[in-house]
Amino acid sequence: MTADHTTAAPATSPSIRDGAFGHATGLVCRECGATQEIGPHYVCTDCFGPLEIKYDFPAVTREQIEAGPANIWRYKALLPVPDDIEASPNLEPGFTRLLEAKNLAAELGLAKLWVKDDSTNPTNSFKDRVVACALSAAREFGSKVFACPSTGNLANAVAAAGARAGIKTVVFIPSNLETPKKVNSAIYTENLVAVDGNYDDVNKLASEIAGEEDGWAFVNVNVRPFYAEGSKTLGYEIAEQLGWRLPDQIVIPVASGSQLTKVHKSFRELVALGLVEDKPVKIFGAQATGCSPVSEAFREGWDVVRPQRPDTIAKSLAIGNPADGIYVLDICRETGGAVADISDDEVRQGIVLLARTEGIFTETAGGTTIGVLKKLVETGQLDPELETVVINTGHGLKTLDAVSDLVGPVATIAPTYDAFVAAGIA
Amino acid sequence: MTADHTTAAPATSPSIRDGAFGHATGLVCRECGATQEIGPHYVCTDCFGPLEIKYDFPAVTREQIEAGPANIWRYKALLPVPDDIEASPNLEPGFTRLLEAKNLAAELGLAKLWVKDDSTNPTNSFKDRVVACALSAAREFGSKVFACPSTGNLANAVAAAGARAGIKTVVFIPSNLETPKKVNSAIYTENLVAVDGNYDDVNKLASEIAGEEDGWAFVNVNVRPFYAEGSKTLGYEIAEQLGWRLPDQIVIPVASGSQLTKVHKSFRELVALGLVEDKPVKIFGAQATGCSPVSEAFREGWDVVRPQRPDTIAKSLAIGNPADGIYVLDICRETGGAVADISDDEVRQGIVLLARTEGIFTETAGGTTIGVLKKLVETGQLDPELETVVINTGHGLKTLDAVSDLVGPVATIAPTYDAFVAAGIA
């Protein structure tokens, strides 16, 4: 315990140790602004609005951050985690590559383009960031089970982080999930539970268990406010890796919309803390047409997001009723950005385009983001002269089927030099 | 060009720019010691022995290295690459996690264990390190085609690096390779060439093309001396991440044996440069029984390695006639280590063990290394009280089939809270 912690002691229940949530001071409702003390809560007791973390940040310098580890804990002072977070086993995600994408920029006619590549996280998606923060919260709350409902990236991340932390971990999936996707999570946990129902059924069951059982930390349910903060580290890293600067434009995939709102929040925090200079940043959201409720609302000029029934290969983006949809609309409109959507064929082409130009194999969510980037340039909604960042959230090895009909050998030859010459490859 | 470069100018053909290979001064035969000037050569003109890089290293400090980028180029002064290497598009691999593995250590009865996790490299294996160095060499030689024969990790790494570099890239694979493995490389390159034959046929064709065609850089054939040096970065990183210390013991998988010899070399270089204190490091090699020529030779006390016909699920280790086999034998014997092998079932169990204890999903090669580590402890060949490092070379997403019968849901339940309670998971 340092003196800083003591002076900004969080208001928490007595069973929680001092400094357990760093400089977080409470939970605040995003709708009515009511506050409550820190706990495994996610809904405002006054208006049932969503809660998020409130902080009293200390002075933080670039040098302090740069002296930290090459993972998300370098930003621990800005997250709801304790100062000794590095001592607890976790997946240590983050500080992934920010690659200048000259080939893709040339292909799309952009002056300057960067890809933030989260496919190289421990379980190959950005979910490792949020799960790492949820795991810290679960530990500090003394939770006895770490859990989630999920069909994909989140399930992998929770199962892996729970294994490393040595906490009982239970992952709920729809029972009709394909075998490879089951293996990707079952490899890490003894407690993969198949539920006869669709993802909505699994999600509902998870909320019920979270309400009935003591000591269960469902990362995206009752510890969601802590979990969601992990996405801020994407924004912090982009700014630091650009040399403590903000980009002019950024394109972010939209599922629940949480990632986009948190990246926006991270940029505002860096400005408020004096870590980067303030400047306008246009924020763009990317969806697949088969699940594009936020894009539809943006296009139609609506203030509400109408739920859709998802039907797209971009399954990790297929949330028909996105919790943060209206916040995404607000941010994209306020910053001069946009939300757009593309077809599943364009998603597939986006995957191939990124791989062929930059050597990065992205999943369908990343294909969506690249495809939307291309569309935004073509429609003139994104300024090709401004410095642009695009986020790749996950790995193509997990969604191989999406492209397996699209790419393959250019030729099949006999194992002789003559056959090689005849094929005209040289 | 700095003055240092000029004074230690490499002996190269006139078409190669000064400093193109950093502090490398020539090629030296590992058998007879004959030297020749730098070029796309891999065989001694005197005795047909294998060539490796010779250097005249400058003084290098820990601080210089620590100030470098979070990838292998932080060690550029110790690699055959130019000082401006970071300016050329590459995959920027390396500086992967070194995780303390307390759960696995407890499971195996080890005092202190670390996992060097190369599954988080850009294309999810250590091959990104060697390919990055090969790409630099291909560029400096003015090669017009970047190529390899491969069935797996190497194909992925070459195709991805070539795409990002914007150089024509051709990858040769056996035509009977499974579709997912074809997709993993075809996603990055238009020029995936299927060859009707087994891997030996493909390899032979590659050597023939390398001999016949000008300007083809086959990473593991004619630029192999440059390529192989990339594995040294595994050793450099382990030492730096341990706080500029060498471990007491290290377990490394053996395919050609190159990685093990280069990690050994890297430790010796760090000692010679005064970057770490000298100390004994026992080096252990890991093979799968179905392809264990080096382990057999070690056990039998032979000075030669008898070729074997591979038959194991650990396909990325299945080299029946390993080029560096005798060097591996020498190193493991001299350092007090050993080479051991395990069955395919033990390989599978090794994969599950690492995932369940540390949240790391490894491929069959990593399962082999973990399984051999376990065996070495059980046979008393590895001292459980000494600080041990084990290398995880690749990702389990690429060898899903190996474990898909081994793991799965613990229960299938109806989507109700009652069904959840009845299943006894809480």
CB contact at 8 A, B244 and B171: no
CB contact at 8 A, B183 and B154: no
Q: Where do runs of H (alpha helix) occur along A359-416?
A: 364-378
Residues 169-188 of B with CB under 8 A from A: 170, 173, 175, 179-180, 182-184, 186-188
Confidence of residue B379 (pLDDT cuts 50, 70, 90): very high
A 10 A CB-CB count for A7 gives 9
Instruction: Give Cα separations from A256 to A12, A22, A149, B7 (angstroms).
Output: 28, 26, 14, 59
* Least confident piece of the model among A218-222, B271-275, B294-298: A218-222
Which residues are CB-contacts of B13 (< 8 A; sequence separation ≥ 6)?
A: B37, B38, B39
Say if the Cβ atoms of B163 and A352 lie within 8 Å.
no
Work out the minimum CA distance from A322 to partner chain B, whole angstroms. 22
Query: Which of B148, B265, B233 shows the shortest CA–CA distance to B199?
Result: B148
Radius of gyration of chain B (CA): 22
Buried b (16+ CB within 10 A) or exposed e, A305-331: beebebebbbbbbbbeebbbbbbbbeb
Q: Residue A180 has what pLDDT?
A: 87
Optimal mutation site among B164, B201, B353, B403, interface A, most CBs of chain A within 10 A:
B164
Out of B191, B192, B417, the one facing A208 most closely (by C-beta) is B417
Q: What is the pLDDT of residues A354-413, one digit of tens each?
A: 999 999 999 999 999 999 999 999 999 999 999 999 999 999 999 999 999 999 999 999
Residues 115-154 of B with CB under 8 A from A: 117, 120-124, 145
Say if the Cβ atoms of A205 and B103 lie within 8 Å.
no
Q: Residue B13 has what pLDDT?
A: 59
> What number of C-beta contacts closer than 8 Å exist between A and B?
241
- Nearest chain A residue to B120, by CA: A120
Tokens of A16: 């929680």
pLDDT of A3 strictly over 80: no
ipTM for the predicted complex comes to 0.94
Say if the Cβ atoms of B103 and A166 lie within 8 Å.
yes
Work out the minimum CA distance from A139 to partner chain B, whole angstroms. 17
Say if the Cβ atoms of B163 and A357 lie within 8 Å.
yes
Say if the Cβ atoms of B103 and A164 lie within 8 Å.
yes
DSSP A303-354: SS-------SS-GGG--SS-TTHHHHHHHHHHHT--EEEE-HHHHHHHHHHH
Q: Residue A198 has what pLDDT?
A: 85
Q: Does the CB of A417 have a partner CB in chain B at under 8 Å?
A: yes
Work out the minimum CA distance from B290 to partner chain A, whole angstroms. 24
Q: What is the mean pLDDT of residues B57-82?
A: 96
A 10 A CB-CB count for A48 gives 10
Optimal mutation site among A172, A183, A191, interface B, most CBs of chain B within 10 A:
A183
Residue B300 φ/ψ, nearest 5 degrees: -80, -10
Which residues are CB-contacts of B130 (< 8 A; sequence separation ≥ 6)?
A: B157, B219, B227, B228, B229, B230, B231
Q: Residue A12 has what pLDDT?
A: 55
Confidence of residue B96 (pLDDT cuts 50, 70, 90): very high
Residue that is written with structure tokens 């009515």 in the block: A32
Tokens of B265: 């070399």
Optimal mutation site among B397, B401, B418, interface A, most CBs of chain A within 10 A:
B397
Say if the Cβ atoms of A159 and B357 lie within 8 Å.
no
Q: Which uninterrupted H or E stretch holds B24?
A: strand B24-29
Confidence of residue A1 (pLDDT cuts 50, 70, 90): very low
Long-range interactions of B23-32: CB distance < 8 A, separation 24+: B23/B55, B23/B56, B23/B57, B23/B58, B23/B77, B23/B78, B24/B53, B24/B54, B24/B55, B24/B80, B25/B54, B25/B55, B25/B56, B26/B54, B27/B51, B27/B52, B27/B53, B27/B54, B27/B225, B28/B52, B28/B53, B28/B54, B30/B327
Q: What is the mean pLDDT of residues B316-343?
A: 96
Q: Taking CB atoms and an 8 Å cutoff, what residues of chain B touch A397?
A: 124, 184, 395, 397-398
CB contact at 8 A, A174 and A197: yes
Out of B170, B179, B359, the one facing A164 most closely (by C-beta) is B359
pLDDT of A225 strictly over 50: yes
Q: Residue A314 has what pLDDT?
A: 94
Q: What is the pLDDT of residues A237-255, one digit of tens each?
A: 999 999 999 999 999 999 9
Query: Which of A338, A368, A337 shows the shortest CA–CA distance to A353?
Result: A368
Work out the minimum CA distance from A327 to partner chain B, whole angstroms. 31
- Nearest chain B residue to A213, by CA: B426
Q: Look up residue A314 and give its amino acid.
A: A
Q: Residue B314 has what pLDDT?
A: 94
- Nearest chain A residue to B400, by CA: A180
Confidence of residue B3 (pLDDT cuts 50, 70, 90): very low
Strands B24-29 and B35-36: antiparallel
Say if the Cβ atoms of B351 and A187 lie within 8 Å.
yes
Q: What is the mean pLDDT of residues B41-62?
A: 95
pLDDT of A2 strictly over 90: no
Say if the Cβ atoms of B122 and A360 lie within 8 Å.
yes
CB contact at 8 A, B118 and B394: yes
CB contact at 8 A, A164 and B103: yes
Domains in chain A (CATH in brackets) are: 3-87 (no CATH), 98-122+231-402 (3.40.50.1100), 127-227 (3.40.50.1100)
Confidence of residue B6 (pLDDT cuts 50, 70, 90): very low
Residues 296-335 of A with CB under 8 A from B: none
Tell me what the pLDDT averaged over chain A comes to.
94
Q: Kindly report the three-state secondary structure assignment for every residue of A39-77.
A: CCCCECCCCCCEEEEEECCCCCCHHHHHCCCCCHHHHHH
* Cα gap B81→B85, rounded to integer Å: 6
CA A353 vs. chain centroid, Å, equals 22
Q: What is the mean pLDDT of residues B340-369?
A: 98
What percent of chain A is predicted at pLDDT more than 70?
A: 97
Q: What is the pLDDT of residues A74-127, one digit of tens each?
A: 999 999 999 999 999 999 999 999 999 999 999 999 999 999 999 999 999 999
Number of H helices, E strands in chain B: 15, 14
Tokens of A74: 């370098």
Query: Which of A188, A231, A282, A182 shows the shortest CA–CA distance to A393?
Result: A231
Optimal mutation site among A115, A182, A187, interface B, most CBs of chain B within 10 A:
A187
Q: Taking CB atoms and an 8 Å cutoff, what residues of chain B touch A200?
A: none
